[in-house]
Amino acid sequence: MEAERHTTEELGVDGRNLDGVYRYYELAKRAEWQVRDLPWSDAPPIPEYSGSPQKLGRRRDLWRSVITQQLQADELAVEMATQLFSIAPDREAKLYYTTMVQDESRHTEAWLKLIHEAGGMAERDPYLDKLAQHVLDADTLEEKVFMMQVFFERLIIPRFRMIARSSRGTVLEDLCNRLAIDDGIHHGAGMAYERVLLEGAGKKTQTRLIEAANRLLPTFAQHALWRPKAREFIGALMRETDVRMLREDLEHGIRLAKSLGLDVSGVEMPTF
Ligand SMILES: [Fe+2]
Ligand SMILES: [Fe+2]
């Protein structure tokens, strides 16, 4: 198989070494699954409870709201992945992005089926739409890969684990476990590609990236602390957790930026 591979000099722009990115292309193809693989007929879609009709209704609304946000995120992820596919100049990266477009489409398909089984869509998070717009409108590929794959794809993973822990024995749990793996691949591929992109980038690209992050972070904080009506009753309870997780996400983002060799001294932390 190795013999069939073209050398990087033939494929990469400016002789870039894209072997790391290509590895994720192969990994993503091996890891692909189908929506029909989920336990649709063996497990309930979302957790089942006993109690008063009011309590049951409230719980259902809560899960519908959780699923709606994830559906919204994956619909936006399809758009972002498609844009990355179309603007990435390197062939290996383009090949890799075909799998990411496919993954995000499959995630959307799964959430659509699940939201139907859970009783229908709930309220959208307005800040999530704004976040995606930041990525889609960003000027450079370096900015888009950083926001989408380095930052978002990494921080969603503990969310999936958290949802899976509180929905044992359901289709939702199974889906979240699969998405944690897929988004691990999306993040890994993004880290590998961003490294290659930044190697050839000058100070100007780096400065623009930090400026883009500073424009993004206030919206990110609003998104992290936003509570839909269905989850307002646990909002006060959860505010502390939300703030703690937001801090952790921001610190993690800074560590990731540093590990890519970026100068983070210009990052302005949002206030909340
Ligand atoms: Fe996804
Ligand atoms: Fe993803």
Alpha helices, H only, 88-226: 91-118, 126-137, 141-145, 153-165, 171-199, 203-225
Classify burial at 255, counting beta carbons within 10 Å of its beta carbon; exposed 0-12, middle 13-18, buried 19 or more: exposed
* Residues whose CB is less than 8 angstroms from the CB of residue 75 and which lie 6 or more positions away in sequence, other chains included: 108
How many angstroms separate the alpha carbon of residue 56 from the centre of ligand 2?
31
pLDDT tens-digit series, residues 59-93 = 999 999 999 999 999 999 999 999 999 999 999 99
How many angstroms separate the alpha carbon of residue 36 from the centre of ligand 2?
19
Identify the band that residue 8 occupies on the pLDDT scale cut at 50, 70 and 90. very low
How many angstroms separate the alpha carbon of residue 191 from the centre of ligand 2?
13
Whether pLDDT at 42 is above 70: yes
Across the range 5-21, mean pLDDT stands at 70
Whether pLDDT at 245 is above 80: yes
Identify the band that residue 98 occupies on the pLDDT scale cut at 50, 70 and 90. very high
The pTM score is 0.92
Q: Which ligand approaches the C-alpha of residue 186 most closely?
A: 2
Across the range 104-126, mean pLDDT stands at 97
Whether pLDDT at 180 is above 50: yes
Distance (Å, rounded) from C-alpha 141 to C-alpha 155?
Answer: 20
Going 40 to 45 to 49 to 53, the CA torsion angle's sign is: negative
Whether pLDDT at 3 is above 50: no
pLDDT tens-digit series, residues 119-165 = 999 999 999 999 999 999 999 999 999 999 999 999 999 999 999 99
Q: Which ligand approaches the C-alpha of residue 179 most closely?
A: 1
pLDDT tens-digit series, residues 184-212 = 999 999 999 999 999 978 899 999 999 99
How many angstroms separate the alpha carbon of residue 53 from the centre of ligand 2?
36
Whole-number average pLDDT of the chain = 92
Ion ligand 2: residues, CB < 5 A: 183, 186
Provide the pLDDT for residue 178: 98
Whether pLDDT at 55 is above 60: yes
Q: Which two tokens stand for residue 167?
A: 């929905």
* Residues whose CB is less than 8 angstroms from the CB of residue 15 and which lie 6 or more positions away in sequence, other chains included: 8, 9
How many angstroms separate the alpha carbon of residue 7 from the centre of ligand 2?
28
Provide the pLDDT for residue 18: 96
How many angstroms separate the alpha carbon of residue 106 from the centre of ligand 1?
8
Q: Which ligand approaches the C-alpha of residue 97 most closely?
A: 2
How many angstroms separate the alpha carbon of residue 52 from the centre of ligand 2?
38
Provide the pLDDT for residue 235: 65
* Residues whose CB is less than 8 angstroms from the CB of residue 194 and which lie 6 or more positions away in sequence, other chains included: 142, 145, 146, 149, 150, 260
* Burial letters 218-239, b for 16+ CB under 10 A, else e: bbbbbbbbbbbebbeeeeeeee
Provide the pLDDT for residue 32: 98
How many angstroms separate the alpha carbon of residue 110 from the centre of ligand 2?
13
How many angstroms separate the alpha carbon of residue 268 from the centre of ligand 1?
28
Q: Which ligand approaches the C-alpha of residue 178 most closely?
A: 1
Count the neighbouring beta carbons within 10 Å of the beta carbon of residue 271. 6
